[in-house]
Amino acid sequence: MNIIDFENIHRAYHRGADVLNGVTISIEAGRVVGLVGKNGAGKTTLLRIAMGMLEAQQGAVRLFGLDPRREPLEVKRRVGFVSEDQILPPFMKVEQILDLHRGLFPTWDESVAQDLIVRFGIPVRTKVKALSKGQARQVALLCAVAHKPELLLLDEPAAGLDPAARREFLETSIQLLNQLGTTILFSSHYMSDVERLADRIVMLHEGRVLIDSELDEIQEHYCLALVPHNGDASRAKLVSLDGCLGVRERSDALHAVFNLEPESTARLLEAELGITDSLCNRIALEDMFVELAGGQQ
Amino acid sequence: MQFVIIPGSELPIYRQIMRQVTDALSGGRLRPGDKLTSQRELAEQLVVSPLTVKKAYDELEREGLITTERGRGTFVTAAAAATDPRQQKERLRPEVRQLLSRARLSGVTVEALAKLLVEEEQHWNTERDAQS
């Protein structure tokens, strides 16, 4: 059974454009999936639907086979959630927050909690409002993992943290993966974090899944073709080719991303469009993101 | 053995790990019977997903270079010592391809490139002799 299933999820905001427009993703146990896409692509909306904080207008979401809107308690007991804008009660002391969680979760493991308190150096007698942003995020992470959830949902967990705090966050996540084998779905704008933590990547674009792939596949089986403006190469012609994921018009050339190896792409361009002067190269994750999510020039 | 990985590269992290093991084998820094860092430990050291390390180790095992003995750890196999020169050569192919494409772009001929290699080797040898 899958840990999480999104099936044809639609969600629009009142009078606004669609945020999610038919999203289907399934995640098996033990996988770590990085959810990427530019701001407004629908990442947060999707994670909130998984948590039952928002309802899908069409489609279904199941966690462990359960509907998070119908069985919220059962689902929340088995999930850990951290989000960028999570607000902990400012006038509570950290230890009071920990007490609260300890009472809520029957599976709370005090040794995990104590380990992280020591590791992060969390001042438990301090009030939340006196914590730094990084410390507050660490408390949120601690609360999300100490009950040993089967699934972690992290919405931009590293946003706003300095590089050292971000790394510490990653290190902790990896140790938890080692110890507990938790399934993780996390959104992030930091491609190097995605590369370190994830084994699968899902890219949302304009409310749909543009890429759903093993992480290594991107570097091994995708390429960026630079097609000079001369001749009659055009954006429309490139987009219509099989395997083309997106094209950007830039001043130097047309930038086209293909789900093909560089050699095959060059052959395809020559055979279909008679283009012989394209430059096709493998692509790093960050560049792929920019090419697909970035605007036209 | 120490590993270094570079995220943001066009080479997937699991390939970077594999390449460092094969390089260490051909360079004699890893020998048959040597024990490799455990997968969990390496994941924590490099701060990369345990699944990525597992993929690298699985591939190396498939190639017959390492073997995992349950409860004892992962070791370099005897077969890993006798590396086929042909295989060693194959491993260099991607870099050679890159070099060739750069040479083409800058109008350097294959002959000139070959000459450059020979020159560099001579240079290397003179330096080594000077040191010893």
Where in the sequence of chain A do the CATH 3.30.70 domains occur? 222-294
Question: Is B72 in the same domain as B94?
Answer: no
Does B40 lie at the interface with A, CB-CB under 8 angstroms?
A: yes
Question: Is B45 in the same domain as B20?
Answer: yes
Query: Of A223, A224, A199, which is closest to residue A213 (Cα–Cα)?
Result: A199
Question: Is B94 in the same domain as B78?
Answer: no
Residue ranges of chain A whose CB lies within 8 Å of a chain B CB: 30-32, 167, 170-171, 174-175, 177-178, 191-192, 195-199, 215-216, 219-220, 281-286
Where in the sequence of chain A do the CATH 3.40.50.300 domains occur? 4-215
Question: Is B54 in the same domain as B99?
Answer: no
Query: Of A18, A16, A4, which is closest to residue A206 (Cα–Cα)?
Result: A18
CA distance B43 to chain A (A): 7
The β-bridge relationship of strands A244-249 and A254-258 is: antiparallel
Q: Would you identify the CATH topology of the domain A222-294?
A: Alpha-Beta Plaits (3.30.70)
- pLDDT tens for B36-83 read 999 999 999 999 999 999 999 999 999 899 999 988 999 999 887 756
Question: Is B71 in the same domain as B91?
Answer: no
Residue B29 has pLDDT above 90, yes or no: no
Residue A15 has pLDDT above 80, yes or no: no
Please tell me the predicted confidence (pLDDT) of residue A40. Answer: 85
Please tell me the predicted confidence (pLDDT) of residue A25. Answer: 97
Instruction: Using the CB atoms, write b or e for A27-53: b if 16+ within 10 Å.
Output: beeebbbbbbbbeebbbbbbbbbbbbe
Give the best residue of B16, B37, B46, B51 to mutate against chain A (max A CB count within 10 A): B51
Instruction: Using the CB atoms, write b or e for A98-117: b if 16+ within 10 Å.
Output: beebbeebeebeeebbebbb
Q: Give the nearest partner residue to A286 out of B8, B13, B55, using CB atoms.
A: B8
What domain count does chain B have? 2
Cβ atoms within 10 Å of B65's Cβ, excluding its own: 21
Question: Is B75 in the same domain as B93?
Answer: no
Beta bridge partners of A249: A254
CA-CA distance, A157 to A169, in Å (whole number)? 8
**Given an 8 Å threshold on Cβ–Cβ distance, is A170 in contact with B9?**
no
Question: Is B20 in the same domain as B48?
Answer: yes
Name the band, by pLDDT with cuts 50, 70 and 90, for residue A233: confident
**Given an 8 Å threshold on Cβ–Cβ distance, is A219 in contact with B11?**
yes
Residue A248 has pLDDT above 60, yes or no: yes
Question: Is B73 in the same domain as B9?
Answer: yes
Question: Is B103 in the same domain as B51?
Answer: no
CATH of the domain at B63: 1.10.10.10
Contacts of B94 in chain A (CB under 8 A): none
Question: Is B111 in the same domain as B69?
Answer: no
Read off φ and ψ for residue A78, nearest 5 degrees: -100, 5
Domain ranges, residue B3: 1-83
Residue A297 has pLDDT above 60, yes or no: no
User: The pTM is what?
Assistant: 0.85
**Given an 8 Å threshold on Cβ–Cβ distance, is B10 in contact with A219?**
yes
Structure token pair of residue A184: 């993780």
**A196 to chain B: closest CA residue:** B48
Name the band, by pLDDT with cuts 50, 70 and 90, for residue A84: confident
Question: Is B67 in the same domain as B94?
Answer: no
Q: Give the nearest partner residue to A199 out of B9, B47, B51, using CB atoms.
A: B51
Strand order of the sheet with strand A151-155?
A79-83, A151-155, A183-187, A32-36, A200-205, A208-214
Give the homologous superfamily in CATH for domain A4-215.
P-loop containing nucleotide triphosphate hydrolases (3.40.50.300)
In this structure, of A286-290, B70-74, B95-99, the range with the lowest mean pLDDT score is B95-99
Taking one residue from A and the other from B, the number of pairs with CB-CB distance under 8 angstroms is 62
Question: Is B102 in the same domain as B116?
Answer: yes
**Given an 8 Å threshold on Cβ–Cβ distance, is A177 in contact with B50?**
yes
Give the start-end residues of each E strand in chain B.
Answer: 35-36, 66-69, 73-76
Query: Of A214, A152, A213, A140, which is closest to residue A179 (Cα–Cα)?
Result: A152
Please tell me the predicted confidence (pLDDT) of residue B85. Answer: 67
- Domain boundary (B83, B103, B119) is at B83
**Given an 8 Å threshold on Cβ–Cβ distance, is B49 in contact with A198?**
yes
Mean pLDDT of chain B: 87
- What torsion do the CA atoms of A48, A49, A50, A56 make, to the nearest 10 degrees? -170
Q: Tell which wins on pLDDT, B10 or A239.
A: A239
Residue A100 has pLDDT above 80, yes or no: yes
Sequence-distant (6+) residues with CB within 8 A of A24 are: A6, A7, A8, A9, A59, A209
Contacts of A198 in chain B (CB under 8 A): 49
